[in-house]
């Protein structure tokens, strides 16, 4: 059994296009001089729920190009807790009412919106108007229309926009992309992707409230499965058919519990996805004309794991995915490196999500998608 280590992966990445990209970034850094590297970017987290508390804030203690500079919370009791724990100045602590005053704060360069989905558009747009770069947690918004509004606001303000798609910065997903790009296992014919967990907590939590979440399992976990099919084929889908299943209507009162969908791609590849708030699943399997590879687990916070039909074990040292993601966005802002998860990626995924919901509403009818080749793909 052969282990694919980080050193092996880095060797792959510096060949071919990887070396060109490396030279390009090096040249750009030299041309820009040290001015762009004079400081780390200050990030303000908007919304101090579990993801900010247990993932993002700890990761920001280890990042190289950014740091936790401020917070925005609607819970006054959290202000002192966070200020004491992370030594955050009072001037860098905001609430939802005075948030717009962040425009005057030069210590904050990036606003990371980590709120319920229905609040993403409002605070991304307000952050852009305040002149701050924006990271938006997934899903981007609760409609394609809102995604457009966020993208347009960031463009008008001349600020950078990135999605909180942490997997694009971690090595297992990058290895999958490399397999597909180099046709290591031939032409891709089939992808199966699962992203699900069983929810047993408070039935009144915001994820189970459609006004706040915009949907259920599909909006939450399903985005990971959709993404797996896209980087597992290297293409955008051209059509989708979907089905919804409900076995606990007393708990999932107005959000989807379980959804399965079938996608078709321009090359002829097909994919199945399943997502749920009622069972546990976490994998992707990709079959090509010359073999297969898989990740299981594929989309949690890590460590991930994988193998191939060649008998290889896909294995990398574990690092915080959130740390890698936020450093990648900071390098995009500071050094002009590619944006691994641009706003257009979030919009594309919401277009697919809306098509899945439309198919369900029409009894599983096939819905065609008009996505330009490469639309929504980030830089690698």
Catalytic residue numbers read: 138, 224
CA distances from 60 to 50, 52, 77, 304 (A): 15, 10, 22, 21
CA distances from 63 to 26, 67, 310, 324 (A): 21, 7, 36, 8
CB within 8 A of 333, min separation 6: which ones?
Answer: 41, 109, 110, 133, 160
Neighbours of 302 (CB within 10 A): 16
CB within 8 A of 147, min separation 6: which ones?
Answer: 121, 140, 141, 343, 346, 347, 350
CB within 8 A of 261, min separation 6: which ones?
Answer: 240, 241, 242, 243, 272, 273, 356, 359
């Amino acid at each position: 059994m052969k282990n694919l280590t980080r050193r092996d992966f880095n060797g792959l990445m510096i060949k071919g296009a990887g070396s060109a990209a490396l030279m390009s970034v090096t040249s750009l850094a030299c041309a820009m001089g040290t001015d762009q590297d004079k400081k780390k970017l200050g990030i303000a987290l908007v919304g101090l729920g579990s993801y900010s508390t247990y993932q993002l804030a700890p990761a920001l203690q280890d990042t190289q190009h950014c740091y936790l500079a401020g917070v925005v919370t609607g819970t006054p009791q959290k202000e002192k807790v966070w200020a004491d724990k992370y030594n955050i100045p009072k001037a860098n602590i905001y609430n939802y009412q005075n948030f717009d005053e962040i425009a005057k704060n030069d210590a904050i360069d990036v606003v990371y919106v980590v709120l319920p989905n229905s609040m993403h558009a409002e605070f991304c747009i307000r952050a852009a108007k305040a002149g701050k770069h924006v990271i938006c947690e997934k899903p981007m918004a609760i409609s394609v229309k809102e995604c457009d509004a966020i993208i347009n606001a960031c463009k008008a303000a001349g600020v950078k926009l990135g999605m909180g798609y942490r997997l694009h910065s971690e090595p297992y997903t990058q290895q999958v992309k490399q397999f597909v790009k180099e046709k290591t296992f031939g032409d891709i014919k089939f992808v199966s992707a699962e992203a699900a967990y069983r929810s047993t907590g408070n039935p009144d939590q915001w994820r189970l409230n459609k006004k706040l979440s915009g949907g259920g399992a599909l909006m939450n976990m399903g985005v990971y499965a959709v993404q797996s099919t896209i980087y597992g084929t290297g293409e955008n889908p051209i059509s989708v058919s979907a089905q919804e299943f409900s076995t606990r209507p007393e708990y999932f009162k107005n959000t989807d519990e379980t959804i399965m969908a079938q996608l078709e791609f321009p090359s002829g590849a097909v994919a199945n996805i399943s997502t749920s708030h009622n069972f546990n699943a976490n994998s992707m399997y990709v079959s090509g004309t010359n073999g297969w590879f898989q990740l299981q687990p594929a989309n949690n916070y890590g460590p991930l794991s994988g193998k191939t039909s060649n008998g290889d074990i896909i294995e990398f040292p574990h690092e915080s995915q959130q740390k890698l993601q936020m450093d990648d966005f900071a390098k995009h802002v500071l050094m002009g490196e590619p944006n691994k998860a641009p706003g257009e990626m979030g919009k594309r995924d919401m277009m697919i999500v809306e098509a899945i919901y439309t198919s369900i509403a029409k009894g599983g009818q096939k819905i065609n998608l008009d996505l330009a080749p490469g639309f929504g793909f980030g830089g690698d």
